[in-house]
Copies of this chain bind each other. A is one copy, B any other.
Amino acid sequence: MELRHLRYFIAVAEEGNFRRAAERIGIAQPPLSSQIKDLEDELEVQLFRRLPRGAALTEAGEAFLAEVIVIFRQVEFAKQMALRGAAGEFGRLRIGFTGSAAFNELVPKIIRSFRKAYPSVALTLAELNTRQLLDQIRSRSIDAAFIRPGPTSPDGIKITMVAEEPMMVVLPTGHRLAKEYAIPLSSLQDEPLVLHSRELGPDLYDEVIEGFRRSGVDPVIGQIAPQITSIANLVAVELGVSIVPAPLSAINVPGVVFLPIIGDAPRARLAVATHPDDHSVVTRNFKQQVATNLQKR
Instruction: Name A's B-contacting residues (CB within 8 A).
Output: 1-4, 43-47, 49, 58-64, 66-68, 70-71, 74-75, 77-79, 81-86, 88, 90-91, 279-282
Contacts and interface: CB of A to CB of B under 8 A. Distances in A.
B62 A91 contact: yes
A12 to B, nearest CB: 14
A283 to B, nearest CB: 10
Nearest to A64: B82
Contacts of A63: 81-82, 84-86, 90
B74 A61 contact: no
A59 B280 contact: yes
Given A1-B3, A3-B3, A90-B63, A58 B85 contact: yes
A60 B82 CA distance: 4
A79 B4 contact: no
Contacts of A279: 49
Question: Lowest 7 A-B CB distances belong to which pairs?
Answer: A63-B85, A67-B78, A60-B86, A64-B82, A60-B85, A63-B81, A2-B2
24 contacts: A1-B3, A2-B2, A2-B4, A3-B3, A45-B82, A45-B83, A45-B86, A46-B86, A58-B281, A59-B90, A59-B91, A59-B281, A59-B282, A60-B82, A60-B86, A61-B82, A62-B85, A63-B86, A64-B78, A67-B74, A70-B74, A71-B74, A71-B78, A74-B74
Contacts of A78: 64, 67-68, 70-71
Given A59-B280, A91-B59, A282-B59, A85 B64 contact: yes
A55 to B, nearest CB: 13
A59 B88 contact: yes
A83 B282 contact: no
Contacts of A70: 74, 78
Contacts of A59: 85-86, 88, 90-91, 280-282
Given A44-B83, A64-B78, 8 more contacts: A43-B79, A45-B86, A46-B86, A58-B281, A59-B91, A59-B281, A64-B85, A67-B81
A81 B63 CA distance: 6
A61 B86 CA distance: 8
A210 to B, nearest CB: 42
Contacts of A83: 43-45, 60
A58 B235 CA distance: 50
Given A2-B3, A4-B2, A280-B59, A66 B43 contact: no
Nearest to A59: B85
A45 B85 CA distance: 9
Contacts of A61: 82, 85
Given A1-B3, A81-B67, A62 B45 contact: no
